[in-house]
Structure 1
């Protein structure tokens, strides 16, 4: 029916939601219900709930009965547990009463016992103080400082007294107030005894006294303070001595000052500057050799004994002291040099003397401390003055070079002598130290290189410098003069280095020797244009042999002596004239000889090459060519003086002699010799192959003819291809072409030279 309800509808009904969910607002339809309608809904809902409750009880009555039974049991157990808890609380309260009262009594007794112990300890300390302070032993130890063991024991006792009195519990006790003052007085006495012993021990180098003082300070636990004090005093001595050493001034001319007027300055007395400077150097020598040396030795002794007592904290102590000394001295020297021009001039201008004093100190310390080696003595103190001295030194070396080239004319030997004297002076005064000598040697090298640069800037270039047709041009004379000046500078410098041999460091001598090599290089560059022109002219003369028709004459008239060729006469005359006119004025004959050797080697190479290219070559022509080979040595004699013809480059001379010996032989013998030697120390196979072309038939063209080249172009190609394999390959082309021609013409045999030439050409394939 429409008014029937169930549980689900009650939950979803808006009217019942106000009971199930408080705070829910009712909709308008619900608000319009009358009281009767609301009561009716409530009555129906109660009926539904009763029915639902009845159904649940009927359905789950066994479970409900079981839960009710367990609830009753739990209530019984809880009642029993409550009784047990009450009993436990009573027992705990009873036990607490038995523990608290004994604890309080024990705590009170403990406080009393602790106070008794503290009082007993204070009394014991006071008793110990009284015993140590008022015993006759301590007084006897202090009153007898000569016995080191006594004073050391006294220091130990005083330190123990200080530790005892340092307890705050003893402060304010009248019984030891006077004792505290006595301990302070005794400590001062012992400290003074130890200080005096340490000072005296260091002065006398008495390690026993120094060791005793260190043990006293160590027992008093003021060792670091005492060592710092000693170091401070030592630095103070050095500082004081350094300032006094540099306190020099020029005496003023009193007569001048009396007559002085406005604008007139006081002048130093004549002749006093040298005396003052002498005094300055004496003071500096005394500063380093006495004051600094003494303090360093004392500090080293102190450090050694400190380390013997296993005080590792002082390891490197002397090194630190030396750094402090150099720091102070460096500061004083810089300040004094800035304040006094005399000191500045002395330390910078005569730096080697300053360095010698320093090195003497270093040497003495090294000899004195050789077994220990505690000092690492650097030269930082000298650095500002060394830099200034080296700056002046390089100026003194470079200024003569700039001066001698300031005029338009070339320098004179007198001006070079001034530079040599400067070099000698600078190197001589620098010999006090190897490092300084090396640096000065580098400066000498710079001066030599500057001289070379100035000479190079004054050289004449172009055609005027390279012509070899006429007499020497003014430009060539200028170049020769500059080259001779370079040689003179090198000779004189070498003499200076030789005189200083054994004193000048090897590195410094090597630096100067390297700079002197620049002179030889520049001399070679000066000679290079002339040598190139001579070489070109020689090549032009040798090329004319191909225009000599006598090489192609079929035979020589009977009884006629075979003369050498006209081109050879021209070559001999040209070489002799070139050496006499253009090379004899150069005094550096070693460099001239090197350049001449290159030209001579090139001359032989060209002569041998073109001699093998002459074609056709008759028997008379071959004999004449052999005569030319003999004359070639005469032609080269001016270029290779002193019998040095056999030392030419690339063994060209050996090739000349070997080919001269092969030419009289027949082709078969020539080829046989070449194959036996295989190019080792003999004539290259490519040259012999070119020579065989001279007797070949017209069909067998020479390599340059086959390629359509001139002889000059072939010569250039051979210059660019020195490999024997390449040269033999070039000659193989005409041989292959000749073979093709013979086969095309169906000729039954080859020319007799062809197999021999092919055999030589195949040597190139074998070597590859």
Structure 2
């Protein structure tokens, strides 16, 4: 067992730890010690603690004495403070007695004063009520209510009475009970008079009456309610008349109805449908032109008077009323059309007439000098009927096209005329509204495009459609017929649009014009294979000039006069035959002329190109070629409108005329002229350069000879390379090879044409 000698040993002893921390886990050390040992251990610990206390007292006795002294002083101070607190409490009690009693008296007097004030105010209000209600002035105002000023004053007095009675609770006062009932009675009487004046003023457009009634309602503080009542009354009137106007039924055949039985249907009486339809439109016209118009005019008058009285809350009142009217009419129209197939058929089948009723109403409302509403027609009202009408309209436009192409034969002019009459009728009926006209014009465009599609499906596209050797084949005649039908339709439609000019909207006219352009496009597509065949044949004929030996002869055979070449005669005959046989039957000569101008320009281009490629070319051959240049204008004249070449592409025609004049010059003059005219619409330098090869020596080969090409392949290359720089570069390569050959052979000089040709070739650097 450990010895207990100081506080530290007590703290570390396992036996005493159970006394320091009661919550700690109990150890079993006390079970190992006997009671005597435990008592001894405790006694030893007490001795150590007693010794430690003596030690601490001895060591800190000065501090302990000091603390005891301060405790005595604090007790003295607390005793003094208690005396002061008792004195303070006594003073507070005395002060409370002096404050509470006056406060209670003041509070009591205040309540008395408040009650006196309320009683005084109540007596004052009762007195004012008695004065206003029982004075001769109010009775005089009510009795003279026919005068606007008096009824306004009476309304103001009644409103003042209501304010006096509503601001204070007067319930339970017998003295004013009868007065309150009298005020209500007078108010009802004045409201009735004002309502009558307002209705009469609106019906007769009397601004003074309406203004008086508004002031009365305003003074009574029931203006909003009165205006709402007027609006509801107007809408109710429109609703009633609208439903009556569309509540139609066909009278049945009485004889059949008597014999009706199973399987028998009631049949309308003969002629009744037309009469009922007439009554329907008369009722609709009355509804819109009388009822709706008058109600809108009255609401406009009401809004204008309200704004004059600075009642800004009603700004736009007429527009809001118009919106409610249109919503109401839309509801009635939909309900009645769903309930009656006759009404539905009438409104859908004669939609333009129905639309005109709306438009006439809007026009009348807008044309008024004092009109302040916008009166736009919501498309949601008309949309169901418009859609049904347009569906029938496009069917009426497309069905004739399907019908005329249903058989194997091509359509006749009578069938197209019938289609034109239908189109004219649809467009004319739709002119009442720009939006409707535009939509119908789009449908007309669809009919025209369908006609074009049907024609395109009937075209002959096999080889017989593009042959130009024999006379016209049956396939070509079919294509001509279809093209002429397209032209007939386009010309008739153009006349229709011209007759409707000023009435048909610009957008609608543009839509139809765009659709008519498809007829010209299809005609061009019909002519394109034929024109390509004519162009190919022309090129084949022009290529034969290279086989003509007369271009290489030194003089005229047997002294004959120089005449045009055989190929030129053949070309002239072929073009004339092609125009008269294959192109003349087409009636759309505008499109034919455009296509012919392209062919004529191509013919001149090929002739000029191959004329410059003839090699060798003698002086006689040059003279003969000049004659051919003059005859070329004769050859292409049938392709030009009126035989005038001025309609041709200007560049090709200028090149033909300019090259003809250059052929008569020497090589030096020719080159000088070309260099001088470069970039000013003269003859291209590449053509003159190709022409100079015609008089060059054999070692100076032409570009196609140097490349191992045929003349036809060279022509194709020139078509694919329109750039003047590329064409000059092609000839430059040949000239450079010639220069290398001469230098390799040590020949002292070049051919006289070589410097001239190099001068032209050097112009390639001037082109981008």
Deviation at 1:110, TM superposition (A): 2.5
Q: What does the per-residue CA deviation read over 1:632-671, in whole Å, with 9 as the maximum and x for residues that have no partner?
A: 1111111113143122125211111111111111111111
- Pick which of 355-364 and 166-175 moved more: 166-175
Residue 598 (structure 1) shift? 0.6
Structure 2 Cα separation of the partners of residues 364 and 183 of structure 1? 45
Change (3 A) 1:241 1:371: closer
Distance verdict in 2 for CA 1:442–1:644, change over 3 Å: farther
Q: Is the 8 A contact 1:556 1:620 kept in 2?
A: yes
Paired position in structure 1 for 2:755: 755
Match of 2:673 in 1: 673
Equivalent runs, 1:707-726 vs 2, <5 Å: 707-726=707-726
**Counterpart mapping for 1:282-321 below 5 A:** 282-321=282-321
Contact 2:404 2:415 in 1 (8 A): yes
Partner of 2:235: 235
Residues 40 and 445 of structure 1: CA distance in aligned 2, closer, same or farther (over 3 Å): closer
Q: Distance in 1 between matches of 2:39 and 2:288?
A: 129
1:352 maps to what in 2? 352
Aligned to 1:766: 766
> Aligned equivalents of 2:2 and 2:367: distance in 1?
133
In structure 1, what is the equivalent of residue 588 of structure 2?
Answer: 588
In structure 2, the CA distance between the partners of 1:185 and 1:135, relative to structure 1 (3 Å rule), is same
**What CA RMSD, in Å, does the superposition of the two structures yield over aligned residues?**
2.2
Residue 117 of structure 1 aligns with which residue?
A: 117
CA distance in 2, matches of 1:303, 1:318: 6
* Residues 1:81 and 2:73 aligned together: no
Map of 1:190 onto structure 2: 190
Q: Could you tell me how far apart the structure 1 residues matched to 2:189 and 2:73 are?
A: 96
CA distance in 2, matches of 1:23, 1:682: 125
2:628 alignment counterpart: 628
Q: Distance in 1 between matches of 2:114 and 2:436?
A: 78
- What's the counterpart of residue 455 of structure 1? 455
1:175 aligns with 2:175: yes
Please give the alpha-carbon distance, in whole angstroms, between the structure 1 residues aligned to 2:249 and 2:347.
15
The answer as to whether partners of 1:445 and 1:512 remain within 8 angstroms in 2 is yes
The alpha-carbon deviation at position 592 of structure 1 amounts to 0.8
Q: Is the 8 A contact 2:319 2:373 kept in 1?
A: no
Aligned residue runs from structure 1 range 441-480, under 5 A = 441-480=441-480
Whether contact under 8 Å (2:362, 2:375) holds in the other structure is no
Alignment partner of 1:540 is 2:540? yes
Contact 2:122 2:168 in 1 (8 A): no
Shifted more, 706-715 versus 445-454: the winner is 706-715
Range that drifts further, 133-142 or 502-511: 502-511
Q: Deviations over 1:108-160 (max 9, x none)?
A: 33323322222222222222221121111111111112322221221122122
Q: Which whole-Å deviations, capped at 9, do the CAs of 1:303-325 have from their partners, x for residues lacking one?
A: 12222233332222211211111
Separation in 1, partners of 2:272, 2:20: 128
For residues 420-445 of structure 1, what are the alpha-carbon distances to aligned partners after superposition, in whole Å with 9 as ceiling and x for unaligned? 11111112222222222222222111
Alignment of 1:131-170 (within 5 A): 131-166=131-166, 169-170=169-170
Count of residue correspondences: 768
Which range moved further: 86-95 or 365-374?
365-374
> Structure 1 stretch 262-271 or stretch 219-228: which is displaced more?
262-271
What is the SS of the residue equivalent to 2:746? coil
Give the TM-score of the pair, scaled to structure 1. 0.96
- C-alpha distance after superposition, 1:482-539 (max 9, x if no partner): 0011111111111112222222222222221111111111111111111110011111
The answer for the alignment partner of 1:244 in structure 2 is 244
- 1:254 CA drift (Å): 4.4
- 2:553 matches 1:553: yes
Change beyond 3 A, Cα 1:752–1:131: same
Cα distance, 1:49 vs. partner? 2.8
Question: Would the aligned equivalents of 1:288 and 1:357 in 2 still touch at CA under 8 Å?
Answer: yes
In structure 2, the CA distance between the partners of 1:465 and 1:25, relative to structure 1 (3 Å rule), is closer
Distance (Å, rounded) in 2 between the aligned partners of 1:753 and 1:25: 132
Contact 1:15 1:26 in 2 (8 A): no
Is contact 2:155–2:219 with CA below 8 Å preserved after alignment? yes
1:2-21 aligned at under 5 Å gives the runs 3=3, 5-21=5-21
Q: 2 CA distance for matches of 1:598 and 1:167? A: 98
Post-superposition offset of 1:25: 7.2
Q: C-alpha displacement at 1:452, in angstroms?
A: 0.5
Output the CA distance in 1 between the equivalents of 2:463 and 2:525.
15
Q: Give the alignment of 1:3-42 within 5 angstroms.
A: 3=3, 5-22=5-22, 27-42=27-42
Give yes or no for contact 1:646–1:654 (8 Å, CA) kept in 2: no
- Matching residue of 1:91: 91
Query: Displacement, 1:330?
Result: 1.7
- CA deviation after TM superposition for structure 1 residue 689, in Å: 0.7
User: 2:690: which partner in 1?
Assistant: 690
Specify the alignment match of 1:384 in structure 2: 384
Structure 2 partner of 1:659:
659
1:341 deviation in Å? 3.6
- Residues 612, 687 of structure 2: 8 Å contact kept: yes
Matched, 1:638 2:614: no
Q: Which shows bigger deviation, 203-212 or 651-660? A: 203-212
Give me the whole-angstrom Cα distance separating, in 1, the residues matched to 2:374 and 2:158: 34
Shift of 1:614: 1.0
Shift of 1:103: 2.6
Larger mean Cα displacement after TM superposition, 12-21 or 531-540: 12-21
Q: Give the SS at the match of 2:363.
A: helix
1:432 matched to 2:432? The reply is yes
The 1:614–1:170 alpha-carbon spacing in structure 2 relative to 1, beyond 3 Å, is same
For 1:396-545, list aligned pairs within 5 A.
396-545=396-545
**Structure 1 position 54 matched with structure 2 position 54:** yes
State the 1:371 CA deviation.
Answer: 5.7
Secondary structure of the equivalent of 1:166? helix
Deviations 1:359-391 (A, max 9, x none): 121111111156634544444432222222222
Change (3 A) 1:344 1:16: closer
Displacement of 1:261 in angstroms is 6.8
Structure 1 position 446, deviation (Å): 1.1
Give the distance between the partners of 1:37 and 1:260, measured in 2 at CA. Answer: 135
| Alpha-carbon distance in structure 1 between the residues aligned to 2:60 and 2:341 | 126
Distance (Å, rounded) in 2 between the aligned partners of 1:529 and 1:367: 60
Between stretches 214-223 and 270-279, larger displacement belongs to 270-279
Could you tell which deviates more after superposition, 658-667 or 249-258? Answer: 249-258
TM-score, length basis structure 2: 0.96
> Cα gap change, 1:19/1:285 in structure 2, threshold over 3 Å: closer, same or farther?
closer
Work out whether residues 420 and 493 of structure 1, in 8 Å CA contact, stay in contact via their aligned partners in 2: yes
In the alignment, the residues of structure 2 paired with residue 752 and residue 678 of structure 1 have an alpha-carbon distance, to the nearest angstrom, of 22
Q: Are residues 175 and 731 of structure 1, via their aligned partners in 2, closer, same or farther at CA, if it must alter by over 3 Å? A: same
- Note closer, same or farther for the CA distance 1:436–1:707 as it changes in structure 2 (3 Å cut): same
Asked if structure 2 preserves the Cα contact closer than 8 Å seen for 1:445 and 1:515, the reply is yes
Structure 1 residue 265, shift from structure 2 partner: 4.6
- The farther-off stretch of 266-275 and 114-123 is 266-275
Partners of 1:252 and 1:267 within 8 A in 2: yes
On the 8 A contact 1:467/1:530 being kept in 2, the answer is yes
Q: d(CA) in 1 for partners of 2:551 and 2:24?
A: 144
CA contact (8 A) 2:611 2:625 kept: yes
- The answer for the alignment partner of 1:567 in structure 2 is 567
1:400 Cα deviation after fit: 0.9
By how many angstroms is 1:167 displaced?
Answer: 5.0
In the alignment, the residues of structure 2 paired with residue 661 and residue 187 of structure 1 have an alpha-carbon distance, to the nearest angstrom, of 112
CA deviations 1:66-110 (Å, max 9, x no partner) are 333322222221121111111112222222233333333333333
Q: Within 1, Cα distance between the matches of 2:360 and 2:92?
A: 96
Write the distance in 1 (CA, Å) between the matches of 2:57 and 2:498. 137
Q: Distance in 2 between matches of 1:514 and 1:25?
A: 107
Contact 2:2 2:13 in 1 (8 A): no
Separation in 2 of the partners of 1:255 and 1:30? 132
* Partner in structure 2 of residue 701 of structure 1: 701
- Give the corresponding residue for 1:614: 614
